[in-house]
Structure 1
Amino acid sequence: MEKQNILKDAEKRKRLLWGGAFLLLLLLQLLLLIYYGSRKSGFHEDEFYSYYSTNKTAGLFVNDREWIDKDSYRNEFVVLPGEQFRYGIVKQMQSWDVHPPLYYYILHTVCSLFPGVFSKWLGIAVNLTAFVPCFFLLAGIVYEIAGKGEKGVRLAFLTCLLWGGSAAVISGVMFIRMYQWMTLFVLLCAWLHVRAVRKQKFGLPFLIPVGVTVFLGFLTQYFYMVFHFFLGAAFCVYLLSRKKIRVLLSYCAACVLAFGLAVLYYPASMSHIFRGYRGTEAMDEFADTGNTLERLQFFTELFDKYEVAGCLAVILLVICLLWVTRSCLGRREKLVDHPAGRRVSGRLPVEIWLLVSACAGYFFIVAKTALLLGETSNRYMLPIYGLLLFLLLYFLTEPLSGFLPEGKKTGWILFCVLCAGVLLMNGISLKAGRVFFLYEEERAAMAFVRENKDVPVIVFYNSASESNVWRLSDELMEYPEIYLASEDNMDELTDETLNTSDRVLAYVADHESGTACLDRLLESNAKLTEYRLIAEKGLWKLYELR
């Protein structure tokens, strides 16, 4: 009895130590995210849209040869006092675009708690809120599959260490859009299925959360359904193989019901998917068989560069060598007659096959249909990056542990070596500056704007894409007012303020008539004799005329 109590106390201490290690890791990763958040100095155009479509008051309009004061456009990006928690407007705004509304509800809620405030930290805080449960869900998935012993805990720790410290995941938290919340529902979906298979419990405590996850995931990002479809298909095959027909029918009914309720709540979703400009583009890309290899290679390279620091080929080679060696040495696991049916051909747990099916299907479909936008396209694969990293680590450590001599010391040595490798990969990516959506190059331009905010400002916009004016919103909010002028309007500039100032700041759209606009401004104001380029921002150039 005394020996049993000693063992229980030792096991309890071990759990407490590991729990403390996970909490410390989470805290360090949150501090890392806050550090990168402090470095974020600009916004992606879609991030401006997140604030605008969430907090819109009257709408943004571009009127040629008119002054517009600061509040007229700043108020469109913040929640005004008395306009808090207007979820009906948020839903309507998204129905006019191509996105579901749940993420915007969340962002609007946070902005409503801080009326009149426009800040990157409101959007980053929303993503940090999703990051925390993602961390625990990913650890839970690994723990369920790898086993609730020392091996499972170590693999869960390694996976979270690699995932939360990777450049792509940090970038995802910095990106003020819905993808971090989609990651939450993807991981929740995976955890629910993995846990159900492991515990062999498929009743209402499983079906109701699955239905809720379908409802919320679909209303967060339509790509969620791609992941759930492939995971659900593999899960149904598993149920069929176990002859659990009643469970299969109940599961399908729960998913279809949840999906139907989501469509009833948000009917615009069907139009977005099948008739909206993004849905039409996605279908055209999917139907084009000629781009398949190019697109798969593109997204594979993104994962390689931003998640494993360019080491993917080496990792896959080592995995292949280990498994081939294991097979040649005859060290395959024998067929296990497990009551839950968790082994397939005596090799891999069913849960692994579920994740492989879901990730492979999602990767293929999204690679075929997502926008190719350079490094920023990582956003589309962000929801499955944690699962892909786990699968890599699982297939690496599973055969490796069979070659090593048994013993606690050996296990700890392997764990420490892998931790060092993970930290090295993350360190390489972070040192190479692979965290994006920071726009640190805009810090100097913003400092110039703030120092010269009282100088008259004119914005020469391209009338073919006048909405691009609002990509300058963070800078334009610094000026008391701005003057809008179309580059296509060749009439003389007659505004008294612009024509009598000894200094003028001019934003010029990336258009061939930009220089001609500056020359017209020089002609209309005798005090101005020259202009110099101050900064470039996307489609815009900022000039100082004096």
Structure 2
Amino acid sequence: MHAKRWFPIAFVGTIIIIVATLFYYFNLKQGYHIDELYTYGLSNSYYQPMPFDHNQWLDGSYYLNYLSPTIETRFAYDSVYYNQVQDVHPPLYYFIVHTVSSIFPGVFTKWIGLSINGVLHILIFVLLYFLLKTITKKPWISLAGSAFWALSVGALSSAVFIRMYQLVTLWQLALLYLLVNFLNKSVNIKWALLGVALLVYLGGLTHYYFYVYAFLLVATVCLIFLFQKRFKDLFAYGMSAVAGVLAAFATFPAVFTHLFDSNRGTEVLENAENLELTRQNLFVVFIKHDLFLDIRLRYVLLFAIILSAFLLIFIHKNKYHSLLTSLVLVAFPAVTYVFLVQQLSHYQTPRYIYSVYPILVASLVVILYYGLRGLIRNQKIVTSCVMLLLATGSIYSLMTTLPEYLFLYKPPLVSLVEDSQDQAIMVLGDEYWKVAREVDDLAYFDQIYPSIITNSLTNLPDTVDKEQLYVLMMPNENNDVPKVIANIANKYQMTVVEETLVEQDEILYKLIHE
């Protein structure tokens, strides 16, 4: 009774710790991945998916209006939809970003995207708690397990990364939670079937990889229903999932163009046709780093195998077969998803498996708790051991590892330019998309001239009406950068007075009139 009295305080206290941790890392974040800038641009630019105007002088408002809606273009969801048709993702997350951005027109700030992710992070934490509590019936174990995910490097990286991965995590976890309850007949079937259709619909409108997980979950639960001879439930669940997919396709039919005609869709289809079963297991390395504190994988697997053996002993002794069924539904689709996405993805990056991190943690907690229950009879000792292990892991992770996507060492371009709002800058790259990497800083310049690097300078204007000129070079091995910058200085009768390495592949030059 004493423990029950303290639990609400512990639950609220845990949320406060998570929020404080999120705010700390959100505040640290200094720069953006190009895809994060695309998040803002595709959400807020008015019928302009990419900021690719070039070979002309532009003012900073061109780039600010790409990142943030104006008074006139607020709540323009038709534009968001159009931009996503032209891109390669479904539109739901972008609708949300546009909605929040529309409350602050003309403002670009990291806090818009981070606040959305922060809210989603807390919702995932709460949902993971209820999933674990449904399976274990132990609130303290469930709280410790959900906090372990929320404070892990992988979860914090997903929260810091201003993309749709937090939202798709929520839908996948919600679908799993609903099906665990559906499987155990603890939810009204009509509401469950409606929930399945709705969650499949929302997930499909968030990220296409959601369909991979949903299919695996559908297949697993249908096999379980088949084994249990619940044929009506099998049919009803399958049809509900199909209805959600068809509704998502009807809402956003560009899915077919994205799958068969876009570069991302083509890459996935080619990888599906040429599965490399021996492909380097980088995704396993990501999981080890993001969730298991870089402990040697062989030790993690050995520990899991031993605990799984004791878990099976516990299930057999207590005839707790529903636990085994729930664990299969939680673990099998998530593990298979990691394997399949590793084969399908063109880029080997953990972002594509962030969505199953809380599900993998749920599997770990269930195996850990019931494995120890099969080994140790005293339930209080088991609970204390599990909570101590999870809490120690969270503290160690926070003290030793930083989340990804903070960009702590990337100096803002405007920090290298005095009075940038009065300055002119040329942005010269070998491909136009590279200009998008700097749109957040270019919005603060008076004049911007984006173009392709050429030795002849035929793409550049005849004159520059500023006393000084900044040139941001984005070279590759095919460009003779010293020659190009010398030709620019000669063309405008200017002298290079400063050269600054912005990033490994970006150099900023300052020129003044002789």
State whether TM-score is above 0.5.
Answer: yes
C-alpha separation in 2, matches of 1:29 and 1:285: 38
C-alpha separation in 1, matches of 2:261 and 2:407: 34
After superposition, the Cα gap between the structure-2 partners of 1:459 and 1:445, relative to the gap in structure 1 and judged at 3 Å, is closer
1:168 aligns with 2:160: no
1:113 aligns with 2:103: yes
After superposition, the Cα gap between the structure-2 partners of 1:306 and 1:544, relative to the gap in structure 1 and judged at 3 Å, is farther
Residue type of the partner of 1:454? Answer: D
* Corresponding residue to 1:508 among 455, 462, 473: 473
Which residue pairs with 2:121 in the alignment? 131
SS in 1 for 2:428: strand
The structural deviation recorded for 1:73 is 2.3
The structural deviation recorded for 1:98 is 1.2
SS in 2 for 1:199: coil
SS in 2 for 1:402: helix
C-alpha separation in 2, matches of 1:488 and 1:533: 21
Q: Indicate if the aligned counterparts of 1:227 and 1:358 stay in contact, CA closer than 8 A.
A: yes
1:354 aligns with 2:339: no
The structural deviation recorded for 1:460 is 1.8
1:423 aligns with 2:394: yes
* Corresponding residue to 1:221 among 200, 207, 229: 207
1:443 aligns with 2:433: no
Which residue pairs with 2:503 in the alignment? 536
Which residue pairs with 1:27 in the alignment? 16
Q: Larger C-alpha radius of gyration, 1 or 2?
A: 1
Which residue pairs with 1:17 in the alignment? 6
Which residue pairs with 2:237 in the alignment? 251
Which residue pairs with 2:375 in the alignment? 403
The structural deviation recorded for 1:359 is 0.7
The structural deviation recorded for 1:452 is 4.8
Which residue pairs with 1:319 in the alignment? 304
Which residue pairs with 2:70 in the alignment? 80
Instruction: Give the % identical residues.
Output: 25
Which residue pairs with 2:316 in the alignment? 334
C-alpha separation in 2, matches of 1:205 and 1:494: 64
C-alpha separation in 1, matches of 2:40 and 2:283: 28
Which residue pairs with 1:57 in the alignment? 46
**1:92-491 alignment to 2 at 5 Å?**
92-147=82-137, 152-201=138-187, 203-289=189-275, 291-295=276-280, 297-311=281-295, 312-324=297-309, 326=310, 331-334=313-316, 342-343=321-322, 348-373=323-348, 377-406=349-378, 408=380, 410-411=381-382, 413-427=384-398, 431-433=400-402, 435-443=403-411, 445-449=413-417, 452-462=420-430, 465-488=431-454, 490-491=456-457
C-alpha separation in 2, matches of 1:479 and 1:211: 48
C-alpha separation in 2, matches of 1:445 and 1:542: 9
The structural deviation recorded for 1:256 is 1.2
The structural deviation recorded for 1:224 is 0.9
SS in 2 for 1:75: helix
Which residue pairs with 1:523 in the alignment? 490
Render the CA deviation track for 1:181-216: whole Å, top value 9, x for unaligned.
Answer: 000000000100111222354610111111100110
C-alpha separation in 2, matches of 1:20 and 1:510: 56
Q: How many residues align?
A: 506
The structural deviation recorded for 1:331 is 4.7
Render the CA deviation track for 1:369-407: whole Å, top value 9, x for unaligned.
Answer: 12324xxx1111001001112212322232223333526
Unaligned runs of 5+ in 1: 1-9
TM-score with structure 1 length normalisation?
0.87
Residue type of the partner of 2:405? Answer: F
SS in 2 for 1:442: coil
C-alpha separation in 2, matches of 1:406 and 1:337: 19
Unaligned runs of 5+ in 2: none
After superposition, the Cα gap between the structure-2 partners of 1:79 and 1:494, relative to the gap in structure 1 and judged at 3 Å, is closer
SS in 1 for 2:31: coil
SS in 2 for 1:67: coil
C-alpha separation in 2, matches of 1:32 and 1:38: 10
SS in 2 for 1:440: coil
Render the CA deviation track for 1:91-144: whole Å, top value 9, x for unaligned.
Answer: 111111111111111111111111111111111111112112111111111111
SS in 1 for 2:422: coil
TM-score with structure 2 length normalisation?
0.92
Which residue pairs with 2:464 in the alignment? 497
The structural deviation recorded for 1:335 is 6.4
Q: Indicate if the aligned counterparts of 1:169 and 1:382 stay in contact, CA closer than 8 A.
A: yes
The structural deviation recorded for 1:530 is 4.5
What is the CA RMSD across the aligned residues, in angstroms? Answer: 2.4
Residue type of the partner of 2:406? Answer: L
SS in 1 for 2:503: strand
The structural deviation recorded for 1:527 is 4.5
Residue type of the partner of 2:125? Answer: F
C-alpha separation in 2, matches of 1:407 and 1:168: 30
C-alpha separation in 1, matches of 2:216 and 2:372: 29
- Aligned structure 1 segments of 4 or more residues deviating by more than 6 angstroms: none
SS in 2 for 1:292: coil
Q: Indicate if the aligned counterparts of 2:41 and 2:66 stay in contact, CA closer than 8 A.
A: yes
Higher mean C-alpha deviation, range 486-495 or range 97-106: 486-495
Q: Indicate if the aligned counterparts of 2:463 and 2:492 stay in contact, CA closer than 8 A.
A: no
After superposition, the Cα gap between the structure-2 partners of 1:260 and 1:432, relative to the gap in structure 1 and judged at 3 Å, is closer
